[in-house]
Amino acid sequence: MAAALSMIGCAARAPAPADAFAAIARGDFRRANEILRSIVATDPEGMLAAVARDTMATINGTRVLPDRTYSCPEVAVTAYTRAEEHFFAGRLQESLVNYEAALQSCSENADYWIHYGDAFFHLADYPRAKEFFLEGVKRDPWNRAGHRFIADTDAHMSNGLEAYHRSVLAVVSDPTYEAGWQFLREVTTRGGGKWNRVRAVKPNITTDTSGKPTITLVDHRGR
């Protein structure tokens, strides 16, 4: 009986996006994809699955609208990389120091501001987190994650209407953003609204050697 309880206590925890992000940081994209697919299979309609789908699209190069890129000095990139390592290891205070150092050398990088804000969010300092998120989307108004993070922050501060507005901006910024759609769903239903996502279907038209067209309907799910 004791042995059985010991085995239960040592049972492996379910995979999380952070595990995949750690694998990505190591350059192990095969392992990252395995973890992400496992997350999707565990709860296909949940937020973690949405984040997993978005991450797979990014690392596998299938995103329709890639993130904006920046040219930052090496000192900024090094500080940011160190900040991300601390963040995913749960060393949030240490990450703040390095995010700050990255921003000092490359203040126009919207991602630096947004990820800096995310560290404050995980420390439950929501006003400070929102401040940094807003600085990020000021520099990149089409940053889908920035808008979703602001929405999540507003929701934690009981700003329901603001959370809904930002959720809409997240999916307008990128209509293939699964995490954005999932959060918009949560905000809508939490406020008593009804949810019915209609996925776009458009024709893919090809022709054979005689010029005869063939029309195939393609379901664009952003997955």
Tokens of 67: 């993130």
In sequence order, the β-bridge partners of residue 3 are none
Each residue's pLDDT tens digit in the chain (223 positions)? 444 444 444 456 778 888 898 888 788 999 999 999 999 999 898 999 999 999 999 999 998 888 899 999 999 999 999 999 999 889 999 999 999 999 999 999 999 999 999 999 999 999 999 999 999 999 999 999 999 999 999 999 999 999 999 999 999 999 999 999 999 999 999 878 777 776 665 555 566 666 665 545 444 443 3
Q: What is this structure's pTM?
A: 0.79
User: What is the predicted pLDDT for the residue at 174?
Assistant: 92
Helices (H), the chain: 2-9, 17-25, 29-42, 47-59, 74-88, 92-105, 110-122, 126-139, 144-156, 160-173, 178-190
Sequence ranges of the domains in the chain: 14-59
Contact 48, 16 (CB under 8 A): yes
